[in-house]
Amino acid sequence: MVIQNWVDVVAVSLQDLWSRFVGLLPRLLGALATLIIGLIVAAVLERIVERVLFYLKLDNLLKNLGVDAYLHRANITLNFGHFVGRIVYWFVVLVFLLAASDILKFSALSLFIQDVLNYIPNVFVAILIMLVSLVAAKFLKGLVIASVLSARLHAAKALGALTWWSVFVFGLLTSLLQLGIAVSVINTLITGLIAMLAIAGGLAFGLGGKEYASYLVNRLREETGHQG
């Protein structure tokens, strides 16, 4: 009698397991088909994006702007089309993976994938900010050096380097803020950097420009007295 009860319990458990598997099988096949289609679509879109950016010659544009030199220092080969193509590939894969997760009703996994997808645009914006910062830093460095040399002043290279690093650091901090990395710490650093530049400028003018300011005042007095 006891053995018969055990057999009945095992049979009922197996029947219940089989019923659940049969009920899950269509969703499992649907999720698998969705994921396979997603991989194919992602690969096709990656290729299309890579070729379009190649024909637009964005790599040549970035080289002309001087971005390639900075990447070369970090042992990174400039291939903007391939980089964007890979981001597009994984973005599409995650979208179809989210769809497959919803089919299987994996709510925790779906929420995680949604957070990742929402974060990807921040990466794009941060990269654009860094590219613009590098271009602006190079342009302003050349402008400062040319202006200082045309005014026949000294330390043109030092002022140019200071300009480049100021713009680069500001762009880097802004990119980190866009990525949400240590926001409070970066805000403190930006505030401290601005305060440091203001104090340094005030000291430089107060100490180094004191004699020149006195000279201008004396000239003004002489001209005023001469006119009078």
Q: What CA–CA distance (Å, rounded) separates 16 from 12? A: 6
Q: What CA–CA distance (Å, rounded) separates 30 from 24? A: 10
DSSP run (H or E) holding 29: helix 2-55
71-108 pLDDT tens trace: 666 666 667 788 888 888 988 999 999 888 888 888 88
How sure is the predictor about 55, in pLDDT bands with cuts at 50, 70 and 90? confident
* pLDDT value, residue 42: 92
* pLDDT value, residue 202: 59
* pLDDT value, residue 185: 66
- Nearest 5°: the CA angle 82, 86, 92 is 145
- Minimum mean pLDDT range among 35-39, 106-110, 216-220: 216-220
| Section 17-37 average pLDDT | 76
* pLDDT value, residue 173: 81
Q: Is the pLDDT of residue 5 over 70?
A: no
* pLDDT value, residue 183: 62
* pLDDT value, residue 227: 46
127-143 pLDDT tens trace: 888 888 888 888 888 88
23 versus 175: the higher-pLDDT residue is 175
The closest of 63, 96, 92, 104 to 80, measured between CA atoms, is 63
Helices (H), 56-106: 58-64, 67-73, 80-104
How sure is the predictor about 190, in pLDDT bands with cuts at 50, 70 and 90? low
Q: DSSP 3-state assignment of 228? A: coil
* pLDDT value, residue 198: 66
* pLDDT value, residue 12: 63
pTM of the model: 0.62
Residue 154 backbone class (left: φ over 0; alpha: ψ -120 to 50; beta: rest): beta
Q: What CA–CA distance (Å, rounded) separates 142 from 124? A: 28
Q: Is the pLDDT of residue 118 over 50?
A: yes
Q: Please give the full DSSP string across 140-198, using - where no structure is assigned.
A: HHHHHHHHHHHTT-S-HHHHHHHHHHHHHHHHHHHHHHHHTSSHHHHHHHHHHHHHHHH
* pLDDT value, residue 71: 65
Average pLDDT of the chain?
75
